[in-house]
Amino acid sequence: MDMDDKWLIEFSDPWLYFRRSWTGNYIYGVRFGQSPDGASVAESGVTRDRTQYRGTSKNFDRALLEFLIQRALLGREWEYPRLLDYEPDT
């Protein structure tokens, strides 16, 4: 953990929450369910409150959430998604 960390991750059964470390704003939530392989995402959400988060691309949000899970939680090498690669939702 260092100054460049921008996310706080906390679990409140059954949800895993991702929030901005500097503002404390909750941005993503994920609820996991059981699957034959161990666990799978049963439900997820992202805030669209423009005072807390200005993201406008569902696909970018999915990629960023995947990055946070893979890199921050599982410690895997994972490339950070580039916003320019994703179109805003219309």
Q: Where are the domains of the chain?
A: 7-85
Residue 60 bridge partners (DSSP): none
pLDDT digit string, tens, across residues 46-61: 999 999 999 999 999 9
The residues, any chain, with a CB within 8 Å of residue 30's CB and separated by 6 or more, are 15, 16, 18, 41, 43, 44, 65, 69
- Residue type (1 letter), 49: D
pLDDT digit string, tens, across residues 13-37: 889 999 999 899 999 999 988 888 8
Is-contact 46 53, C-beta < 8 A?
yes
Percent of the chain with pLDDT over 70: 93
Identify the CA nearest to 27 among candidates 10, 12, 47, 7: 47
Is-contact 83 58, C-beta < 8 A?
no
Query: How much is the pLDDT for 63?
Result: 95
DSSP per-residue codes, 13-34: TTEEEEEETTT--EEEEEEEEE
pTM of the model: 0.84
